[in-house]
Amino acid sequence: MSKHFPIVIGHRGAAGEAPENTLGSFALALKQGAEGIELDVHLTKDGKIAVCHDPTLDRTTNGSGLICEKSWSEIEFLDAGSWFSEAYAGERIPLLSEVFELVPKGMLINVEVKNAYEGRMEKALLAFLHEVKRFDDVVVSSFDHKVIQGLKRAEPELKVGLLFGANFIEPVAYAKLLEVEVYSLHPHHRSFDQADMSLARTDGLAVYPYTVNEISDYQRMIIAGVTGIITDFPGRLKTYLDT
Ligand code: G3P
Ligand code: CA
């Protein structure tokens, strides 16, 4: 993992400039110099880990219905790019394994679990990570902290992160209540400040605020001293950090 801070983490790839959670979006984030990517996962009916933000196909593909009610063969050829721009027609929903093949080792992959699917997602995800032997550069996060607690208990080697909504206060104190080792906090950038950061640093926690897109907010997060910034515009953030 990169050693300079904050690292640039492309939200759903480079979601501001390419169709979110597609290989094209992740490739653009890498091209723009991102040191990490964030993505969202759901489970298909036949147990494949599909990379998509919504539980349904309707918003970002030419299909419809719940991902968990479809088999992978019903999803794999859907168009996940045209809704964003004709230039991306033909982009597909990737499997998690395809994203891991694209992203070089050493870059952070932040996998956000959107739904536990009654424990099936945890099992599938851990089996996949064991298969590809990639624990060092992976952080699994979720708004569902029971999922995070369960994953960490099942696999102590896994790095886990807690996602917090916009009105959450005292994330550092809260993290201790889970009684598992938390690697990172993923707060909404508007409810996180320098005081929180000092507490996080004392506890050795990485902090990856989301979804930070404006220069003034980049500045605020950098001053606070965060570890990484999750942004829809990795190129914009990279340029800002480099100037
Ligand atoms: O992981 C940070 C951020 O992606 C959480 O919100 O809705 O964009 O998945 P959302
Ligand atoms: Ca997400």
The single-letter DSSP state of residue 207 is E
Please give the Cα distance from 46 to 49 (Å, whole number).
Answer: 9
Instruction: Give tens-digit pLDDT for 118-170.
Output: 999 999 999 999 999 999 999 999 999 999 999 999 999 999 999 999 989 89
Beta bridge partners of 140: 111, 160
Record the tokens describing residue 123, joined without a space. 């099992």
- pLDDT at residue 239, as a whole number: 97
Q: How far is the CA of 59 from the centre of ligand 1 (A)?
A: 16
Cis amide leading into 6 (omega within 30): yes
Confidence band of 40 (pLDDT split at 50, 70, 90): very high
Cα–Cα distance for residue pair 127/129, rounded to 1 Å: 6
Question: What are the tens digits of pLDDT across the range 41-91?
Answer: 999 999 999 999 999 999 999 999 999 999 999 999 999 999 999 999 999
Cα 38-43-44 angle, rounded to 5 deg: 130
Of the CATH numbers 3.40.50.1980, 3.50.50.100, 3.30.70.1140, 3.20.20.190, which one belongs to the domain with range 7-55+94-242?
3.20.20.190
| Ligand nearest to C-alpha 110 | 1
Determine whether 178 is exposed, middle or buried from the number of CB atoms within 10 Å of its CB (0-12, 13-18, 19+).
middle
**Which amino acid appears at position 216 of this protein?**
S
Kindly give the pairing relationship between strand 138-142 and strand 108-113: parallel
Residue 44, both tokens: 């298909």
Task: Tell me what pLDDT residue 191 has.
Answer: 92
Compute the average pLDDT of residues 181-186: 98
Long-range contacts of 82-85 (CB under 8 A, 24+ apart): 83/19, 83/59, 84/18, 84/19, 84/20, 84/60, 85/19
Among residues 4, 42, 53, 145, the one annotated as catalytic is: 53
Q: How confident is the model at residue 2 (pLDDT cuts 50, 70, 90)?
A: very low
Q: Is 92 in the pocket of ligand 1 (CB under 6 A)?
A: no
What does the pLDDT read at residue 32? 98
Q: How many angstroms separate the CA atoms of 14 and 21, rounded?
A: 8
Q: What does pTM read for this prediction?
A: 0.97
Mean pLDDT of all residues belonging to the chain: 96
Per-residue pLDDT band at 231 (split at 50, 70, 90)? very high
State the distance from the centre of ligand 1 to the C-alpha of 222, rounded, in angstroms.
20
ipTM: 0.99
User: Which ranges constitute the DSSP H helices of 182-233?
Assistant: 194-202, 215-224
Structure tokens at 122: 């945890």
Catalytic site residue from 4, 11, 42, 189: 11
- For 224, residues 6+ apart whose C-beta sits below 8 A from its C-beta are 192, 193, 194, 196, 197
d(CA 22, CA 32): 15
